[in-house]
């Protein structure tokens, strides 16, 4: 098969991960969840008792991290050091604190470098995150920004605005994380040459079809 690199960015709740994974399966490609790498570092820094606000210490922790991530779309596995953190990195406490790693520019530089290595090592790969179309793989064969209205994003997370207090808190957290992440990466507007797929009014299968269409157009 010819080399194929597909870059997909988008905000939380855009359906990015499940859509990217499904697209990878359809194309017989590998799948890289770059957010999982930021989450794994956050887990490890918290476990070590390192202060997340100590930028130099966090940057050093990233450089020292023994991080391995599966690129099989059917076998999610994230290991840091000797610890399988596949499940733990999805905990709310990680989502709440991951932006501290994401806004650390030295930490980003090291993770971008590792992501580029993983992409280079795979003939066909779908990589998703916040800066894949712009920083990690600006030369990708297809570059897609997957967006969705705020309402659709919150709905997909099972949230109802005006619902329970807990839902409102969760909504605030999702939006606050995007706001923090936006200070270092722009995933709200498509960069030059990046195609936008708006999934607000599309179901899961329709979104996959729209992304595959965009890939066809670009390649
Ligand atoms: O995609 P996910 O929500 O799992 O990403 C977790 C966090 O990792 C994001 O909120 C963001 O802070 C960070 N991230 C990033 N750049 C990427 C992917 C994720 O800054 N390419």
- Digit-coded pLDDT (tens) for 38-90: 999 999 999 999 999 999 999 999 999 999 999 999 999 999 999 999 999 99
Residues 67 and 40: their CA atoms lie apart, in Å, by 8
Residue 180, token pair as written in the block: 């923090």
Give the ipTM of the model, two decimals please: 0.98
- Distance (angstroms) between ligand 1 centre and the Cα of 129 equals 6
Residues 46 and 144: their CA atoms lie apart, in Å, by 33
Q: What is the pLDDT at residue 188?
A: 84
CA neighbor of 13 nearest in space, from 153, 173, 172: 153
Residue ranges of the chain with per-residue pLDDT less than 70: 1, 158-165
Q: What is the pLDDT at residue 182?
A: 87
User: Does the Cβ of 181 fall within 6 Å of ligand 1?
Assistant: yes
Q: What is the pLDDT at residue 156?
A: 80
Q: What is the pLDDT at residue 82?
A: 94
Judge contact between 57 and 51, C-beta under 8 A: yes
- Best of 94, 181, 187, 188 to mutate for ligand 1, by most ligand atoms within 8 A of CB? 181
Q: What is the pLDDT at residue 186?
A: 87
Q: Which atom of ligand 1 is nearest to the CA of 89?
A: 4
Residues 112 and 144: their CA atoms lie apart, in Å, by 18
Residues 165 and 63: their CA atoms lie apart, in Å, by 40
Q: What is the pLDDT at residue 162?
A: 56
User: Does the Cβ of 135 fall within 6 Å of ligand 1?
Assistant: no
User: Does the Cβ of 43 fall within 6 Å of ligand 1?
Assistant: no
Q: Which atom of ligand 1 is nearest to the CA of 180?
A: 12
Residues 151 and 65: their CA atoms lie apart, in Å, by 37
Q: What is the pLDDT at residue 187?
A: 85
Q: Which atom of ligand 1 is nearest to the CA of 181?
A: 12
Residues 187 and 205: their CA atoms lie apart, in Å, by 23
- Closest residue by Cα to atom 19, ligand 1, is 35
Query: Would you list which residues are annotated within the binding site for ATP?
Result: 10-18
- Closest residue by Cα to atom 1, ligand 1, is 35
């Amino acid at each position: 098969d010819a080399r194929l690199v597909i870059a997909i960015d988008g905000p939380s709740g855009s359906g990015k991960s499940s859509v990217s994974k499904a697209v990878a399966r359809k194309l017989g490609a590998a799948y890289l969840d770059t957010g999982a790498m930021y989450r794994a570092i956050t887990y490890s820094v918290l476990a070590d008792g390192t202060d997340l606000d100590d930028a130099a210490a966090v940057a050093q922790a990233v450089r020292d991290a023994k991080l391995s991530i599966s690129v099989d779309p059917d076998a999610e596995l994230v290991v840091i050091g000797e610890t399988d953190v596949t499940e733990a990195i999805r905990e709310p406490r990680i989502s709440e604190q991951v932006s501290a790693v994401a806004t650390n520019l030295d930490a980003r530089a090291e993770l971008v470098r590792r992501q580029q290595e993983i992409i280079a090592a795979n003939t066909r790969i779908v990589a998703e995150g916040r800066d894949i179309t712009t920083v990690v793989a600006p030369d990708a064969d297809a570059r897609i920004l997957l967006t969705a209205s705020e309402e659709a994003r919150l709905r997909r997370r099972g949230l109802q605005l005006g619902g329970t207090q807990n839902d409102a808190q969760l909504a605030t957290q999702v939006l606050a994380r995007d706001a923090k992440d936006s200070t270092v990466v722009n995933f709200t507007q498509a960069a030059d040459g990046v195609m936008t797929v708006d999934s607000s009014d599309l179901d899961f299968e329709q979104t996959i079809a729209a992304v595959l269409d965009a890939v066809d157009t670009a390649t």
